[in-house]
Amino acid sequence: MIRSINTLLVPIPTIREHKLACTVMREQTLVLVHIQTEDGYEGWGEATTIGGLNYAEESPHSIKINIDTYFTPLLLKESPTTTAKAMQLLNKHISGNRFAKCAIETALLDIEGKRLGIPVSELLGGRVRDELEVAWTLASGNTEKDIAEAKQMIEQKKHRIFKLKIGSNPIDEDIAHVLAIKQALPEYRVTVDVNQAWTELEAMKGVKLLQAGGIDLIEQPISMRNRAGLKRLKENFDVAIMADEIVQDPQNAFHLAAEHCADVFAVKINQAGGLKAACLIGQMAQLAGIELYGGTMLEGPIGTAASAHVFSTYPSLAFDTELFGPLLLTDDVLVRPLDYNNFGLTVPTAPGLGIEVDNDKIYHYAERSLLSASHVNSQGYFATEKS
Ligand code: MUC
Ligand code: MG
């Protein structure tokens, strides 16, 4: 039985500016959910999004307010006895809010795994791998800096797959940037993420040039609203086209898979609406012959561990993962950081998420962020100010 649910906003600066087509990130706000039960268990979950409301329709603040105002009272009143029943209840009474649902489900599965003495991966059907290869995103905005960063990552045996964020500059500039990096790293996998920035016409040109330049994977080149356009790109080019923003809940992933709108799905636990939903999307992709990629919403270590448990269960993960979120942050919220080595991440094996959260540090960070937010009212909500 759930005793308490705390939702904490934990902003952590990034190690450098992270430039996407839709925003420039200098910090990431982790929305952390801490659930404690009557019988003494505790679980942690996390939701993140990118650039406030730039990337998706949930922001850190909307996630916190909706959990505190709608999710928590419902869960405390109805007292569901399992994670599955809790999620059924939430899905019945709360529409949308996939990121918030993901954070709650993660914390509940963490508790369920600890109670049963098994890792979350085993609650999700069972892992088939213990290590995940992790790509690094080059997004400093500067070609020379990106090349130096990539070479350092290779030398340190941290990453050997590189994803470039493009779409904020004129297309010819972006292509020149990508091709210069690929030429500097000829034997390594280089992929691009356009984050929906191109029109279909621009994409016809861009994809052609990137394919000719040896780029291995092109992620969400056009608007998520142009499903037919994505399918046309997939059919017109040999280079793998990956769907990202367009892959949302399992229902919508079902249609994408049935219509074979992309070669690869980037699956993200937040975007899917939770861990079980992300597993379901993976299964549908596999049944439709679509390859899988373990995506990130730039989660910190809690969401990254949860994602790792999910991706460890996929029978095939042809395009590997990009679970580098914690490495982009200047501080950790775990007692011991996640185990990144030899170009990958080791999936934790201890019960639940298999991580030890630094509760004191998190509560300290969350308090500091509340104190520094000038428009916060007594409940910790952002109040509307009169102009
Ligand atoms: C996205 O669109 O894939 C993943 C890596 C990164 O830098 O941004 C995210 C979001
Ligand atoms: Mg993407």
DSSP string, 162-231: EEEE--SS-HHHHHHHHHHHHHHSTTSEEEEE-TT-B-HHHHHHHHHHHHHTT--EEE--B-TT-HHHHH
Give me ligand 1 centre to Cα 74, in Å: 32
Buried b (16+ CB within 10 A) or exposed e, 206-229: bbebbbebebbbbbbbbbbebbeb
Specify the ligand 1 atom closest to the Cα of 324.
5
- Measured from the CB, is residue 256 less than 6 Å from ligand 1? no
Q: Is 298 in the pocket of ligand 1 (CB under 6 A)?
A: yes
Cβ(139) to ligand 1 under 6 A? yes
Quick one: which atom of ligand 1 is closest to the CA of 139?
7
* Ligand lying nearest the CA atom of residue 307: 1
Please name which ligand lies nearest the alpha carbon of 218: 2
- CA-proximal residue: ligand 1, atom 10 (nearest): 297
Atom of ligand 1 nearest to the CA of 325: 5
- What pLDDT does residue 369 have? 79
- Ligand 1 probe mutation, 19, 28, 50, most atoms within 8 A of CB: 50
Does 299 contact ligand 1 (Cβ within 6 A)? Answer: no
Q: What is the CATH number of domain 123-346?
A: 3.20.20.120
Atom of ligand 1 nearest to the CA of 328: 7
180: CB partners within 8 A, 6+ apart: 143, 147
The answer to whether the CB of 49 is under 6 A from ligand 1 is: no
User: Would you identify the CATH topology of the domain 2-119?
Assistant: Enolase-like; domain 1 (3.30.390)
Query: Which of 17, 163, 268, 299 has most ligand 1 atoms within 8 Å of its beta carbon, as the pocket-test mutant?
Result: 163
Which residues of the chain carry a pLDDT beneath 70?
Answer: 372-387
**Ligand with the closest atom to the CA of 164:** 1
Structure pTM? Answer: 0.95
- Delimit the domains of the chain by residue range: 2-119, 123-346
What would the DSSP string read from start to end of 57-126?
A: S--HHHHHHHIIIIIHHHHHHH--SSHHHHHHHHHHH--S-HHHHHHHHHHHHHHHHHHHTSBHHHHTT-
Angle at CA 40, nearest 5°, toward 89 and 270?
40
Identify which of 54, 322, 324 to mutate to test ligand 1's pocket (most ligand atoms within 8 A of the CB): 322
Residue 373: predicted pLDDT: 58
The set of catalytic residues is 165
